[in-house]
Structure 1
Amino acid sequence: MKKSIIFSLLTLLIVFACKQTQNTLSDENYSKLSDDEKRKVEHALDGIQLADPDLEVTLFASEPMMMNPTNMDIDAKGRVWICEGYNYRNKLNPKNPYNKKGDRILIMEDTNQDGKADKSTVFYQGEDINAALGISVLGNKVIVSCSPNVFLFTDENNDGKADKKEIIFTNLKGVQHDHAIHAFSFGPDGKLYFDGGNEVQTLSDKNGKELTDDLGRPFSTYKQGKVFRCDVDGSNVEILAHNFRNNYEVAVDSYGRMWQSDNDDDGNKGVRINYVMDYGNYGFKDEMTGASWQERRTNWESEIPLRHWHLNDPGVVPNLLQTGAGSPTGMIVYEGKLLPKKYQNQVIHCDAGPNIVRSYPVEKNGAGFKATINNILDGSKRDQWFRPSDVTTAPDGSIFIADWYDPGVGGHAMGDSVRGRIYRIAPKGEAYSVPKFDFETAEGCVEALQNANLAVRYLAWTKLNSLQEKAEDALVKLWKSDDSRMRARALWLLGKIKGKEAKYIQEAIDDTDEDIRLTAIRLSRELPADNLPILKKLATDASAQIRREVAFAIRHKTSPEAAAIWTILANNYDGTDRWYLEALGISADNQWDAFFANYITQAGEKWKTNAAAKDLVWRSRSTDNIFRLAELAKSEKENLRYFRAFDFQNNPEKTKVLLGMLDGGNASSEIMTLVFKHLDVTSAKQDALFKTLLPKVLSGIKNPTDYLDLVKRYEMKDQSDRLTAMAMTDSLLGSEAAKIQVKLNGLAEFQKLTKNKNEEIVRKAIGVFGSVDEKPVTDYLISLFNNKNLSKEVRNQAMYGMYGWNSEEILWDLVKANKVSADVMPIAKKILVGTWHSDIRTEAMKMFGAEMDKELGDINELAKGVGNAPSGQKVFKTYCVACHQVKGEGINFGPNLTEIGSKLSKTALYSAIINPSQGISFGYEGYKLKLKDGTEVEGMILSKTENDVNIKQIGSTNPTAFKRADIVSMVENEESLMPKFPLQKQEIVDLVTYLQTLKKQ
């Protein structure tokens, strides 16, 4: 009897422990836990906090059953499928463990209905899926996204094991890379939607053949990250949007609208949420040249988070929402009923950077949307190792969160390889249960079609589509219901019943619900029948959302009727709705001349005075548009936008038109400056008026950046005096002016300044011109710091000028040859033990005995140390400001660290400092360029245009353009550009303590 009671009590305790419902420790008690205790599974729920008191979070699965979940899906049986990333970047880093069998696809199942996984099945394991970034379960088929391939696995006997493996797409770039191919989602139209970050430069079919758009243009002509759609078998691939940085996971709602997140360059607070307009350009790189957002341009945005996306450029779709710093990951549109109403029909999203899961309630706003932020699950205040990588809706309407669980995120680094968690969120008291589905009858499938889980909907949709007319009656009942989203799901299938397409599209376009009319337009685009009659009817719809969809639907239609419809749409533009304006621009792709000519014919002279018409001129790419742009640019007060628009015009007469704005040289200096900034260099140099007016333009320029841009653009060697004066007096642009001066005119002015009797001027000149890391300058610095006739201060200044990739290499050779004067040797030592050259740094540390403190110990032990933030700030200013900014101070070379404490845990910060090469942020990889003249250049590639490669060199704030024709080779460095500084143990502890204080306010 006693044994029975004891066994029952033990059973209850085990069940209680397995369910792991949230019973969070108080802040005081949680703070008493050691870091090791916080990492343990039994405190997993204590480290995260729910923002909604009506919800409950439970732990569904954790290590050792599974680890490092990169992506997740849930099938119709309620089983959770996980892509593990144990081998993430590990083969590239021999210090990390590596499983030679490869990573796993796991199926985790709750067989005893206690809310916790108790069974784990390895569906597939292999090195070909190491760190896969996407999984989609479609019945007995499973799509796994793992660059360079997308695989289709089939479980032919339903035993939970992959029996067949095929390749759907191949030759994808981004192997073991976060910016690679991501997950596939099943859409309401029966198609698959997927995306890839900006490593995915193009898409090739299973045979390696590059795919093209409907006009035959290769996918590689589209810039940066992309969104795609295809049939379930991988055929009929379309490109739906482009020019993202790292768009992580596209989510599609019942009406066919797309939503996703996108990651900024680290530290620029530009993470964004996008409503993805079909075929839109989302502005990460310059549309025409591919130039980086950091390169100066006319009319650029005042704030970096906005500038990051070229939002002032014609042809860029606006952002739905910008969320600041982060590392955004998985996303869904939650169309379930279980969660409270405020989450229903809204986007739910994971952002691993700030350790948070959010929803973004949206409202229609003209042709677009506006949104707010609603936090759901937050680990930032307690456990910064909480790294939500994906969110998925289960068949019962609850949501599951995959937690990568790691001290850091992104940058290709991993600090923990053995942990990972899966959480379930549901209303309090709602236990996990999986409904029973009938996929054999039309009625059962219609019921399943309404489920919130995509795997369930896939099975229902596929069966209903195969039944055709046999499913019509059951679908009509849903079509006649009051639920708009369920009606839309029914419409997608009713409209694909052979012979009934027109009937249901007609019913839908006459519907009072604008979202149903919207769905009808999207459906009509996928059918072979001519849809121009219904598009013409809906072109005058009162809803801007409907007119937006009409615009997409006439894209690439060449009939005169399409141009007439576009004119109707354009006449309904109100002059304020940027979403609508960009929809018109997207619609006119490849036929601006036909569409815009029709509009202008009707508009007459209205384009000169009407705000909406002027916006359309600004956005237009028609051949003759340069004449209208010139008139507006000259007459409008707010003319910068029109000058910027010239950069998007391809008419060969552009230079002549721009020069014609100068009235023979009587235009204002502002107009003349802007004209000369936008001329084509080659054709301009052949024009007599250009040669006559350029000196006048340069003398009249008021903005120093404009002056430097023009001198550099036109290689004006006669500006030596002004460049030198600017180098010596402008604290912000002096180094850039010095660099241009040396490039155009050599060292004469620099040498002259060092002969000045005023030593303060001499030191200033050395400080400015010495930053130009080129051999002639370096050779002259050597002659100065070894000249014992000069003062100690001057010689020291000259030695400090030896910071720089090329200079440091030369300095090392001098030190080894004993050709550096003892007087300046202490500074030389400091430079060499902190050099960017890892090989030189290692040898210099041995020579000078300046190795890092050998007692540093394990990172986890370091993390237990107590630091002093003010002392750490001093360390930061000594070593880090040469490449990083905090609150505007320092050099903008590496990632901005203003909010680094919100992104990286203490452990991750130690790892980033001690082992920088293990976690190089994307976009900050170092490259070595070898030029035809024998010189080498080290830095980060900001952008590649048709003619130039733009490099930000070490220690520099401004990019330098190198002609492709002058480049012999470009090789990516294996190691980080960040040097390992010879810090002592307490210095590192203090530095990390300071960095932890840099958090989002």
Structure 2
Amino acid sequence: MKYRWLAIIPALFLNTTFNVATLSAQTEHDPNQAVPSLSVAPGLQATLFASEPKISSPSSMDVDSQGRVWICEVVNYRANLRGIPTRKEGDRILILEDTDADGKADKITVFYQGNEINGSQGICVLGNKVIVAASPNVFLFTDENNDGKADKKELLFKVAGGEHDHSAHTSIFGPDGKLYWNFGNTGKQVFDRDGKPILESDGRPVLDNGKPYWGGMVFRCNLDGSDFEVLGHNFRNNYEITVDSFGTLWQSDNDDDGNRGVRINYVMEYGNYGYLDQLTGARWKTPRTGMHEEIPLRHWHLRDPGVVPNLLQTGAGSPTGICVYEGSLLPKKYQGEIIHSDAGPNVVRAYPVEKEGAGYKAEIANIITSEKDKWFRPSDVCVAPDGSLFVADWYDPGVGGHRIGDQERGRIFRIAPPNTKYQFDKLDLSTIEGAIAGIKSPNLATRYLAWNKLHDLQEQAEPQLEVLYQTDNQRNRARALWLLAGIKGKSNQYVERAIKDENPDIRITGLRAGRRYKLDVIPYVKHLVKDPSPQVRRECAIALHHNQSSSAPELWVTLADQYDGKDRWYLEALGVGMDEQESKFMSAWLKQAGDNWDTPVGRDLLWRSKIPLAVPYLVKIIENPDTKLATLPRYFRALDFIPGKEKNTAVAELALMKEPGNKTRETYIIAEAISRMPANVVTQDKKYQHALAQVIDSSRGTPEFTKLVEKFKASDYYPELVALASQSGKSQAAVDAIRAALSLKQNALIRKSLQEKADTEKEQNQKLDLIWALGSAGHNGANAILLKIIKDNQEPLVDRREAVRAIAKTRSGAHALLDLAEKGSFAPQLKQTAAAAMSSTIMKDVKERAAKLFPAPPTKDNKPLPPINVLAGMKGDTLDGRVMFNTKGTCAKCHVVNGMGKEVGPNLSEIGKKLSREALFESILYPSAGISHNYESYTLILESGNVVNGLLVNKTDDAITIKDAEAISRTFKMDDVDEIIQQKISLMPADLQKVLTQEELVNIVEYLTTLKKAKKNEKASR
């Protein structure tokens, strides 16, 4: 659900450290221990509002105007994947009510139950209407007689991508009367209730295909689904959007598992948030010029032009529900702030925000945590009519990620100052005064009802709204403004008044209201274009988005002239403003800048523009000797975003650059330029051949060497390529080099290298490494070379054994090996090596055939394992577990822990914050029960007949990259791929216990539970 990380471990071999403070005794999971297990911030008290057996597994929640708590139970969440019992009648939507004001739910009503809402991920209560997101559907339920039962069910939207945690999420009512919602990166496309594609106002479909949108998106529309807008895109799994009274949007986003890159975003309207490469759709691991060294930052393509910054990165986690607290009951530090639940690290946090330039900065303030009970999984957070905070707790050993560990438990907590009763005035919509009181409520459901009442009253409510607008509470003023601007015939009057207000937040709200009511914003922007607040000027830039007014370029130039050359938020707002009119706006700016364009401001604007017009200027910046070497990558990266012959001509010019006195800088520029040129242009023109040789010579010892030799077919360097494969150890560099050599048809050169006499231990090891690389390359050309070694009795046995292990890595190679065994021409001394190599394969046809020829040995101690709950209650030896973890060839084989291990599956250095002891055992013994998103196994069937298995690293229209269980990535042209098959099982073996005794298994898990946080200076594996 919101917690895609929970299946982190099953994704391959378990090679990470978990630090989970677990509960082993059943009594510790008793609801009576729920509150004592929590740590609550000073000035607040947690009370238990509801728990099992009344409720179980609440995934999402809302609180209505009557103070009733609505929850989506997800007992059936992915139950069919694990064969565990399901609720045949389907999941439920429940209404929990406290009828006697004692702070506990004593009345429970089943609003709706059915299998079509299994695994629901969002609920929004709007009077007698309830919106429920149960991917691939977004339903609208109506209680026509107000008896707490759904009388009508309609389809509001349908989302492509099927049932998935990264799909449709919850809705929220905005202060402007609009509906806001989102989907994650499996949503793909939105359709209306009739199955027709939803189109934006410009006729563009809401579609994840890079034209222009990628990945997860944020939407705004009318409550009937009309007037649909995409407000932000390129998120991974953005769970829930929230909107404050000024109309500012906030949400969280989930990183790829194990990369400590969870983020909180201020959603600048129409922004791109950088999960996928804007050009190709590639994920963050794909190398690109100028990318961050630190994975959490590299993860979001933050150095690419057109990517909006993150408000805050919170490390490892599984972000879930979010809200803005606009009440007064909680202590001052939480008032007006974002409050967010993160199920992974078992915490509910506030993020106090401060304005910084055109954007914001934030810090973390924990509200509730649980170190004692790691089953505490806060899945949602909402504000009640009295201003108290309600927190839904899914309560599970490891929630989400296509798994559920407990179907019986679940809790709802209320957070308020100590001894605060749950009581408040009832909403009275029979009078305007009552509606005004409702619009001031901290509860969204109450404000929804009051907003609609006041909006319907139009001018009748104007005097009272005017009074509210003149109060000191700025959020109430903003709510009044949205309604005043919605009075027919008076929109312009109130917007003009608001943009002259002394409070910049009200000026911003006024400008947004002008856009909301489709007024001509140009006069407002003209008034605000030199506003002292960069936040107001940010909104002016956004207001120019796709505005075709003849005044727009001039206004944009005025805004651009006030950019300080440092504020990335401001720069990206300017980018949003000039979207689809970049040439027009930049031409106007360059005209007024004249010869003074080469300033920090000018460089940033050109870098951000991504248009052919910028090419000659970017070239001049690169050629300028005053441009620091460290900044050159960003300008070459900017060139990557510019299509057309202008860019191609420019890089060709840079490839011949000469800069006397600065050889390092010159070499870098030529290398970057040459790498961007077509191979035929370089190899057929003598003036580039010298430059190419210079670049290749200077790239020795780097990954670029292999890429350049292969791309340009630089035959003079082929021997070095093969030497690199043998001298780089068991590494990515070795595999890349040998694969390039095979692709260049240098089999004879490879054989020659293997036939050279190995007189020293170093030479012998290099020969073994070369054989290993051949097997890891996944290239059909390697099979003949390896088979020759295997069949040659004159070859050293150590080489033949390594060749057996190498050839068994591919389907074609494994079957060739089995053919030898069936024919009886397989050397007896190689049989055990073959049996061991075949025992860990995930290729079903190979495994079945190998089982007959090379029967697997029995389990280590021939003893069956007890049930998981029994194993979880056993105490292990931490030290022995650590040794087993790192020396058994099991865990550290495929996962990185604190910088050590192989980066095949997710980095698990902080998994201990997320998974209980039970979940750890389950992940080892049943790895395919929950495979983390983005760690599914794939099989490529190549045109050559070869088969490659592994994780999908990247896929574009032109190429696909697969990483195998050795952490080796191989890229194939799509033209060479016949079929791509997603496997239904994890790469992690399902019979791992066969190499462990029960005691060893328990010890490993004991060790995992102690690993709670990554070392501070951990370097990411590459």
TM bucket, shorter chain: over 0.9
Pair 1:781 & 2:779 matched: no
Aligned AA for 2:917?
K
Aligned AA for 2:132?
V
1:929 touches 1:936 (CA, 8 Å); kept in 2? yes
Pair 1:753 & 2:753 matched: yes
Q: Equivalences for 1:676-691 in 2 at 5 Å? A: 676-679=674-677, 689-690=687-688
SS at match of 1:754: helix
Q: Tell me the equivalent position of 2:618.
A: 629
Aligned AA for 2:235?
F
Distance of 1:192 and 1:328 partners within structure 2: 22
Pair 1:710 & 2:723 matched: no
Q: Tell me the equivalent position of 1:532.
A: 522
* Alpha-carbon displacement from aligned partner over 1:534-583 (angstroms, at most 9, x marks no partner): 10110100100000000010110122200001000100000110000011
Q: Equivalences for 1:704-743 in 2 at 5 Å? A: 704-714=702-712, 716=714, 718-731=716-729, 732=731, 733-743=733-743
Q: Tell me the equivalent position of 1:74.
A: 63
1:812 touches 1:832 (CA, 8 Å); kept in 2? no
Provide the aligned length of Structure 1 versus Structure 2.
966
Q: Tell me the equivalent position of 1:822.
A: 828
Q: Equivalences for 1:582-597 in 2 at 5 Å? A: 582-597=572-587
Pair 1:169 & 2:157 matched: yes
Distance of 1:749 and 1:255 partners within structure 2: 68
Q: CA deviation at 1:915?
A: 0.6
Q: CA deviation at 1:848?
A: 2.0
Q: CA deviation at 1:862?
A: 0.8
Distance of 2:768 and 2:48 partners within structure 1: 64
User: Which piece of structure 1 moves more, 810-819 or 973-982?
Assistant: 810-819
Which is bigger in relative contact order (C-alpha 8 A, separation at least 6)? 2
Q: Tell me the equivalent position of 2:104.
A: 116
Q: Tell me the equivalent position of 1:874.
A: 883
Q: Tell me the equivalent position of 1:660.
A: 653
Distance of 2:822 and 2:467 partners within structure 1: 86
Structure 2 gap ranges (5+)? 1-19, 759-763, 1015-1022
Q: Tell me the equivalent position of 1:443.
A: 433
SS at match of 2:397: coil
Distance of 1:440 and 1:789 partners within structure 2: 98
Distance of 2:608 and 2:837 partners within structure 1: 51
Q: CA deviation at 1:404?
A: 1.0
Distance of 1:489 and 1:819 partners within structure 2: 83
Q: CA deviation at 1:841?
A: 5.1
Q: CA deviation at 1:854?
A: 4.6
Q: Tell me the equivalent position of 1:294.
A: 285
The correspondence for 2:988, drawn from 968, 973, 978, is: 978
* Alpha-carbon displacement from aligned partner over 1:432-475 (angstroms, at most 9, x marks no partner): 12421111221111111111111000000011000000010111
2:780 touches 2:944 (CA, 8 Å); kept in 1? no
Q: CA deviation at 1:928?
A: 1.7
1:67 touches 1:404 (CA, 8 Å); kept in 2? yes
2:277 touches 2:283 (CA, 8 Å); kept in 1? yes
Pair 1:766 & 2:756 matched: no
SS at match of 2:139: strand
Q: CA deviation at 1:654?
A: 1.2
2:161 touches 2:167 (CA, 8 Å); kept in 1? yes
The correspondence for 2:601, drawn from 602, 612, 617, is: 612
SS at match of 2:187: coil
2:220 touches 2:229 (CA, 8 Å); kept in 1? yes
Pair 1:837 & 2:843 matched: yes
Pair 1:90 & 2:113 matched: no
1:327 touches 1:410 (CA, 8 Å); kept in 2? no
Distance of 2:657 and 2:534 partners within structure 1: 45
Distance of 1:330 and 1:822 partners within structure 2: 61
Q: CA deviation at 1:632?
A: 0.9
In structure 2, relative to structure 1, the CA distance for the partners of 1:674 and 1:373 (3 Å cut) is same
* Alpha-carbon displacement from aligned partner over 1:711-752 (angstroms, at most 9, x marks no partner): 344455553112112222234522222222222234323322
Q: Equivalences for 1:926-965 in 2 at 5 Å? A: 926-958=937-969, 960-965=970-975
Q: Tell me the equivalent position of 2:644.
A: 651
SS at match of 1:679: coil
SS at match of 1:219: coil
TM-score normalised by length of structure 2: 0.91
Distance of 1:261 and 1:170 partners within structure 2: 23
Pair 1:182 & 2:141 matched: no
In structure 2, relative to structure 1, the CA distance for the partners of 1:120 and 1:154 (3 Å cut) is same
Q: Tell me the equivalent position of 1:24.
A: none
* Alpha-carbon displacement from aligned partner over 1:938-984 (angstroms, at most 9, x marks no partner): 222233323223332342343x3333333332221111121122233
* Alpha-carbon displacement from aligned partner over 1:733-789 (angstroms, at most 9, x marks no partner): 222222222222343233222212213443232233332233432443344345443
The correspondence for 1:903, drawn from 906, 909, 914, is: 914
1:405 touches 1:419 (CA, 8 Å); kept in 2? yes
The correspondence for 1:359, drawn from 338, 350, 356, is: 350
Q: Tell me the equivalent position of 2:5.
A: none
In structure 2, relative to structure 1, the CA distance for the partners of 1:118 and 1:627 (3 Å cut) is same
Q: Tell me the equivalent position of 1:672.
A: 670
Q: CA deviation at 1:681?
A: 5.8
User: Which piece of structure 1 moves more, 940-949 or 678-687?
Assistant: 678-687
1:367 touches 1:580 (CA, 8 Å); kept in 2? yes
Distance of 2:431 and 2:819 partners within structure 1: 81
Q: Tell me the equivalent position of 1:148.
A: 136
Distance of 1:558 and 1:922 partners within structure 2: 42
Distance of 2:299 and 2:771 partners within structure 1: 34
Pair 1:385 & 2:375 matched: yes
SS at match of 1:424: strand
1:68 touches 1:417 (CA, 8 Å); kept in 2? yes
Q: CA deviation at 1:810?
A: 4.8
Pair 1:793 & 2:793 matched: no
Q: Tell me the equivalent position of 1:211.
A: 198
Distance of 1:465 and 1:522 partners within structure 2: 17
SS at match of 1:836: coil
Aligned AA for 1:833?
S
Distance of 2:909 and 2:918 partners within structure 1: 18
* Alpha-carbon displacement from aligned partner over 1:787-825 (angstroms, at most 9, x marks no partner): 443333323322332452434555456556665433233
Distance of 1:420 and 1:809 partners within structure 2: 50
Q: Percent identity?
A: 46
Q: Tell me the equivalent position of 1:995.
A: 1008
In structure 2, relative to structure 1, the CA distance for the partners of 1:34 and 1:593 (3 Å cut) is closer
Q: Tell me the equivalent position of 2:463.
A: 473
Distance of 1:70 and 1:931 partners within structure 2: 42
Distance of 1:998 and 1:812 partners within structure 2: 42
Q: CA deviation at 1:600?
A: 0.6
Pair 1:133 & 2:118 matched: no
2:778 touches 2:948 (CA, 8 Å); kept in 1? no
Aligned AA for 2:753?
L
In structure 2, relative to structure 1, the CA distance for the partners of 1:84 and 1:840 (3 Å cut) is farther
Q: Tell me the equivalent position of 1:318.
A: 309
Aligned AA for 1:138?
L
Aligned AA for 1:261?
S
Structure 1 gap ranges (5+)? 1-29
In structure 2, relative to structure 1, the CA distance for the partners of 1:565 and 1:399 (3 Å cut) is same
2:95 touches 2:109 (CA, 8 Å); kept in 1? yes
User: Which piece of structure 1 moves more, 483-492 or 524-533?
Assistant: 524-533
The correspondence for 1:566, drawn from 556, 563, 579, is: 556
Q: CA deviation at 1:358?
A: 0.6
* Alpha-carbon displacement from aligned partner over 1:641-683 (angstroms, at most 9, x marks no partner): 1001111112332111111123477782211101123335677
In structure 2, relative to structure 1, the CA distance for the partners of 1:640 and 1:556 (3 Å cut) is same
Query: How well do the aligned residues superpose, as a CA RMSD in angstroms?
Result: 2.2
Distance of 1:886 and 1:812 partners within structure 2: 36
Aligned AA for 2:319?
P
Q: Equivalences for 1:145-544 in 2 at 5 Å? A: 145-175=133-163, 177-220=164-207, 221=211, 222-379=213-370, 381-544=371-534
User: Which piece of structure 1 moves more, 519-528 or 946-955?
Assistant: 946-955
Distance of 1:130 and 1:584 partners within structure 2: 43
